[in-house]
Amino acid sequence: MTAKASPYRHQRLIFDADNTLFDFDQAEAHALVSTLRHFAMPTPEGLIDHYRQMNVALWQQLDAKQIGIAELKQRRAESVFDFVGAAHTDHETFSVQYLDALAEQQCLLAAVKETLAALSAHCEMAIITNGLARVQKPRFANSEIQHHFGALVISEELGVAKPEPEIFEHTCDLMGWSDPAQVLMVGDNYRCDIQGAADFGMQTCWFNLRQIPHSHQDHNHEIHHFGQLLDVLRV
Ligand SMILES: [Mg+2]
C-alpha cells in the first residue's frame, strides 16, 4: 500500500508570527491600554496611532542596528509617558507590564486556525520571529496552534534576526531540512521574511495583508488573506 500523496506543493513551511499568524495590531492596542490603566495613566485620543508610528520607527532603527533592544524598550516607554503626560518613572517596570500584557493576547488573524489545521496533516511547520522572547514564548505556549509546529525560533534568543541567513539555516537544521529550495517561507515583512528567505534559497509567499501596491519581484506567491495559502499550496 502506498502512502497517500500530499495535496500540497510544499510540505515544509516556515511562518513569521506577528501579523502573519497573530493579529499584532489588535494585541498591541489591547496591551497598551491595559498597561496604562494598570499604572492609572490616561489613554488619550490618538495614543494607539502615536504608539504604532513611534514603535515602527524604533524597530526600523533596531533592524538597522542603530539601537539595541534595551534602548528600544526605554525609548518606547518614555515616548508613551510623554504622550499621556505622565512623569518619566520606572520605564523597566512599565515595559515588563506591557510585554506581559502582550504575551496574554492570543488573537489569531482570520482563517489561521483552520488553515494550519488543514496543512498539519501533510506539512512540517516552524515559526521564526524577530519578536521578544518574553512575549513570544508564553503566547505561543498558550496558543491553540502551538501543537502544529516543530520549532519556534526567536531572534532574541539566537542572537541573529531575519533577514540574516543564519536564522533560516538554524531553523532548517532544527527541523532536519537539508534543502532550502523545498521550504516555503510565509510572512508579512518584505525585507525580513521574504527577501531574507529568498536570499537563503527558499520559496516565498508574501502575506501582503494591507494589500499595499508594490513593484516587488523577489517573492514566488502573494496572498492578501491567510486562507489563500491553501490555494497557493494546492497542486
Ligand atoms: Mg510580521
Q: Are 16 and 36 found together in one domain?
A: no
Domain count, the chain: 2
Q: How far is the CA of 142 from the centre of ligand 1 (A)?
A: 19
Burial class of residue 44, CB neighbours in 10 A (0-12, 13-18, 19+): exposed
The CATH number of whichever domain residue 72 belongs to comes to 1.10.150.240
pTM, rounded to two decimals: 0.88
Ligand 1 centroid–CA 207 distance in Å is 9
How far away, in angstroms, is 18 Cα from ligand 1 center? 4
Q: Which of 97, 88, 109 is nearest to 26 (CA)?
A: 109
Q: Kindly state whether residue 7 falls inside one of the protein's structural domains.
A: no
Could you tell me if residue 3 is inside a domain? Answer: no
Q: Where among 52, 80, 103 does a domain terminate?
A: 103
Out of 58, 77, 103, a domain closes at 103
Distance 51 CA to ligand 1 centre (A): 17
Strands 149-154 and 183-187, by their bridges, are unpaired
Distance 20 CA to ligand 1 centre (A): 6
Give 81 Cα–ligand 1 centroid separation in angstroms.
26
Q: Is there a single domain that holds both residue 227 and residue 117?
A: yes
* C-alpha of residue 17 to centroid of ligand 1, in Å: 6
What is the whole-number distance in angstroms between the Cα of residue 31 and the centre of ligand 1? 17
Q: Bridge-partner residues for 154, per DSSP?
A: 129
pLDDT value for 4: 62
Q: Would 2 be classed as within a structural domain?
A: no
Strand 221-223, strand 203-207: pairing? parallel
pLDDT per residue of the chain (235 residues) written in tens, 0 to 9: 445 678 899 999 999 999 999 999 899 999 999 999 999 999 999 999 999 999 999 989 998 889 998 999 899 999 999 999 998 878 899 999 999 999 999 899 999 999 999 999 999 999 999 988 999 999 999 999 999 999 999 999 999 999 999 999 999 999 999 999 999 999 999 999 999 999 999 999 999 999 999 999 999 999 999 999 999 999 7
Q: 168 is in which domain, residue-wise?
A: 12-22+108-233
Strand partners, 222: 206
- Cα distance between residue 15 and residue 21, in whole Å: 8
Whether residues 55 and 18 share a domain: the answer is no
187 found inside a domain: yes
Write down how long the chain is: 235
Neighbours of 226 (CB within 10 A): 22
How far apart, in whole angstroms, are the C-alpha atoms of residue 183 and residue 197? 9
Report if residue 4 sits inside a domain: no
Residue 80 CA, ligand 1 centroid: distance in Å: 23
Let me know whether 18 and 120 are in one domain. yes
How far is residue 78 CA from its own chain's centroid?
24
* Cα 206 to Cα 181: distance, rounded to the nearest angstrom: 16
- Asked which of 68, 103, 138 is the last residue of a domain, the reply is 103
Q: Domain holding 224: CATH number?
A: 3.40.50.1000
55 part of a folded domain: yes
Based on the domain organization, do 17 and 31 belong to the same domain?
A: no
Cα 149 to middle of ligand 1, angstroms = 17
